[in-house]
Amino acid sequence: MYDPSKQYRCTIIRGKSQKEMDDLLPAYAKVIDEICPCSHQDFETLFNEAFKRYLPESERIKKTLDNHRTEISGKLFGMYYFAEDGMVYESERTQKYLEDNDQPAFFKDICFKMQFPNGMQKVSTTVAKRVEDEISVRPNAFVLKLLQIAQTAGVTITKKALGYYVLNSLDVLQGHANPYEVLEAIVKDQKDGIEHDISVPGKASSYTHQHINEQINYLELANLIRVTEDKRVILNPNESEAISLFTSVYKDKPEFDVYEYDLGNAEIRKEFQFKWDAYYARLSQYAQNFKTSSVALLFEEKKSIEETKKSRVNLTEFGDEGETLVYNYEKSRVAAYNTRLANKVLSLGKTRGIGYDIQSVIAEPGDEAEFVKYIEVKSTKRLTSPDLSDPLWVDSLNITRNEWIAAQQHKEYYAIYRVFFTREGATVFVINNVAEKIKDGRIQVTPMTYRVDFSNSSVDKEIPIRNEES
């Protein structure tokens, strides 16, 4: 029988604030993509040296850099893994993020694969202790299922309640409770006017609640929940498909079976760590279903899904959300300057090979008012808005060969419009004259792939392989 009074502190790797996580993710991805694959021996030096530029001077110390490398980008985010061949490789999760720039989708995948026990902490102590204590749960699937049935029943769940009844509950963490009996206990205590809190004698509130805050924090970064000002936790109805995928596995055992390994054996602990790292670095089975729409980011508790959609421009008329937003902006901007020129704004995103998405006009006072302006739109999604006043903020995007050529060819008439969809709405950063900024070092370009063309004169040897006749 479920007994919420049996409490158990089950931590995850300590991260940063939501804003810091959103800001640091592109930096982690950029550094890991630059240096991997590399050897085990070189990885620490290469990462720490490359990551220094994203930290203030006071934080460029080995301990802080090691934490970003091992604890956050490695253990918590699964952005790379150590392989048994002595090399370090970037993960599938990092590769997908660099392709789609969907930060909530990145965090959805992390939340889906999160489990207890796991290989995130010291195996010989923390992980072994959780195995000894028979911990076995997918906490985020359980939390979302509880919120789902609570919503149906019209029951309010607070952040404090999630901590006490779920994330710090031994019965839940051992897989001995289900969301329905947890909700029943919450309702009973609410009726009796009982409010429980997590407390550890001699420990400050930051110690007792930190692990709860962090786990809820990542569900919010995944855009699956919102925590209101009065600390209620509510589901994001615009993410119902993703939430359903989570709740479909709430009864399942953790996907990675820690209990298969004898953690008292040093060699097996080493094998376990390699296997865990490789497992966690792989995308979950539902990763391709975790795409985030801008409408989902704009969830407001008091607005229905339909009201939210109506408050936005039609995001499907011209395909990509970012392109549509920029197209509408350019039409309005040019029309405000000269109505006659508005029909010169063209949406060309579906025209392959030209190297830009929108053809507009300068539409500013002067001799070049009717000159053509070429715009490439690059969209990204994140929970919080970037802060341009932060001198260490960085972002990365991919451009194709045709976009690169167009930037070089059209120079001052070519711009990248970087669109950030966040829960506050959309923000567009305009980067004019990309070619000039590359030349003067304000933009760094890293070749991602190389095409190798060869002819018969390049071939040194031909080795015919014949099928053996029986």
Write out pLDDT tens, residues 35-82: 999 999 999 999 999 999 999 999 999 999 999 999 999 999 999 999
Average pLDDT over residues 275-293: 95
Cβ distance 417 to 423 under 8 Å? no
Region of poorest pLDDT, from 170-174, 201-205, 257-261, 283-287: 201-205
> Average of pLDDT values for 1-28?
91
Task: Give the single-character DSSP code of 235.
Answer: E
pLDDT above 90 for 316:
no
Lowest mean pLDDT among 48-57, 181-190, 196-205, 301-310: 301-310
CA-to-CA distance for 161 and 233, rounded, in angstroms? 9
Looking at every residue in the chain, the average pLDDT score rounds to 91
- Higher pLDDT: 146 or 469? It is 146
Predicted local confidence at residue 301, as pLDDT: 66
Residue 415 has pLDDT above 90, yes or no: yes
Tokens of 316: 């499907």
Give, for 241, the enclosing helix (H) or strand (E): helix 240-247
Tell which residue, 149, 161, 164, has the closest CA to residue 227: 161
Residue 461 has pLDDT above 80, yes or no: no
The answer to whether residue 450 scores a pLDDT higher than 70 is no
Q: Residue 215 pLDDT > 90, yes or no?
A: yes
Residue 317's pLDDT band, with cuts at 50, 70 and 90, is: very low
Q: Do residues 394 and 55 make contact, with C-beta atoms less than 8 angstroms apart?
A: no
Q: What is the pLDDT of residue 372?
A: 97
104 and 382 Cβ atoms separated by less than 8 Å: yes
Structural domains of the chain ordered from first start? 18-292 (1.10.10.2090), 321-439 (no CATH)
pLDDT band at 17 (very low <50, low <70, confident <90, very high): confident
- 285-313 pLDDT tens trace: 999 999 999 899 988 766 544 554 444 44
CA distance 250 to 257: 16
pLDDT in tens, 240-262: 999 999 999 999 999 999 999 99
Q: If you average pLDDT over residues 20-40, what whole number do you get?
A: 94
Confidence band of 321 (pLDDT split at 50, 70, 90) = confident
Pairing of strands 87-90, 80-82: antiparallel
C-alpha dihedral sign at 279, 282, 286, 291:
positive
- pLDDT tops 60 at residue 29: yes
**pLDDT score for 201:** 85
Residue, of 300 and 381, whose pLDDT is higher: 381
pLDDT confidence tier of residue 315, bands split at 50, 70 and 90: very low
Say how many residues make up the chain: 470
Q: Which two tokens stand for residue 280?
A: 């966690």
Is 50 exceeded by the pLDDT of residue 345? yes
pLDDT band at 374 (very low <50, low <70, confident <90, very high): very high
**What pLDDT score was predicted for residue 318?**
31
The structure tokens listed for 58 are 């006071």
Q: Look at residue 454 and tell me whether its pLDDT is greater than 80.
A: no
User: Which secondary-structure segment (H or E) carries 410?
Assistant: helix 401-410
Which residue in the block uniquely carries the two structure tokens 């690169």? Answer: 404
SS3 372: strand
- % of the chain at pLDDT higher than 90: 77
Q: Does residue 405 carry a pLDDT above 80? A: yes
